[in-house]
Chain A
Amino acid sequence: EIVMTQSPATLSVSPGDRATLSCSASQSASINLAWYQQKPGQAPRLLIYATSTRAPGIPARFSGSGSVTEFTLTISSLQSEDFAIYYCQQYNDWPLTFGGGTKVEI
């Protein structure tokens, strides 16, 4: 299976800051990489799919980049509602696999 590794585990930032989250795959995920946001007590929400395409309704401050084994989620200017846990996930091959998550905290 493709093992997904996220860094850092925790990112401490201030509102208005730029946040950069990293995700690496143990083998090629091509561009079949998604990012999800999860807030306490809620299901994850799809933010980005196909590495860089924003899901419907996702603000433009969220952007994704990368390919093959290295991927990045950037939040250009953090808003209060963006403090959450972010997961990357590959869907290039079964089983689907998730990274361990990055917690973005104030």
Chain B
Amino acid sequence: QVQLRESGPGLVKPSETLSLTCTVAGGSITGYYWSWIRQPPGKGLEWIGYVYYSGSTNYNPSLTSRVTMSVDTSKNQFSLNLNSVTAADAAVYYCARVTRGLGIDYWGQGTLVTVSS
């Protein structure tokens, strides 16, 4: 059973960089698109982007200027960096696996990130 777990600071100051890591257990990182999705409190879901196991990336156009994703296949981990954060970036951040033809089949439990000085 594939399990994903997010880790990283729960509090980030405005204008600084939000950094999260997702660890994948119970399966290989190879062959899949690994995504980050966020959900502001009480609101809907927003796809941030993906990093493919090969390292290629694709970001939501609304965030592309501030987002960087990377993958470390040796550790079965992938990461998100979002710079210049504001209060609008406060959300639960989920890491997830996207399988071609199937959608998002595995999700992490989510981690709440607050933006405040």
Residues of A at the B interface (CB closer than 8 Å) are 1, 32, 34, 36, 42-46, 49-50, 55, 87, 89, 91, 94-101
Let me know if A43 and B108 touch, CB within 8 A.
Answer: yes
> Is there contact, CB below 8 Å, between A55 and B105?
yes
Pair A45/B107 contact, Cβ less than 8 Å: yes
What 0/1 pattern do residues 73 to 93 of B give for CB contact below 8 A with A?
000000000000000000000
Residues of B within 8 A of A (CB): 35, 44-47, 49-50, 58-61, 94, 98, 101-105, 107-110
Chain B nearest CB, measured from A91 CB (Å): 5
Contact A43 B35 (CB under 8 A): no
Give bound CA distance, A36 to B44, whole Å. Answer: 12
Pick the contact of A43: B47, B60, B107 (CB < 8 A): B107
How far, in whole Å, are A97 and B49 apart by their CA atoms in the complex? 11
- Given A43-B94, A43-B107, A95-B58, 8 further pairs, Cβ under 8 A: A36-B104, A44-B104, A49-B102, A49-B105, A55-B105, A95-B49, A95-B60, A96-B35
Main secondary structure of the interface of A (DSSP, over half): loop
List the A side residues contacting B47 at CB < 8 Å: 95-98
Contact A91–B98 (Cβ < 8 Å) = yes
**Measured CA separation A24–B23 after assembly (Å):** 34
Which residue of chain B has the shortest Cβ distance to A89 in the bound complex?
Answer: B103
Residues from chain B with a CB closer than 8 A to the CB of A89 are 45, 103-104
Q: How long is the Cα–Cα vector from A44 to B4 in the complex, in angstroms? A: 13
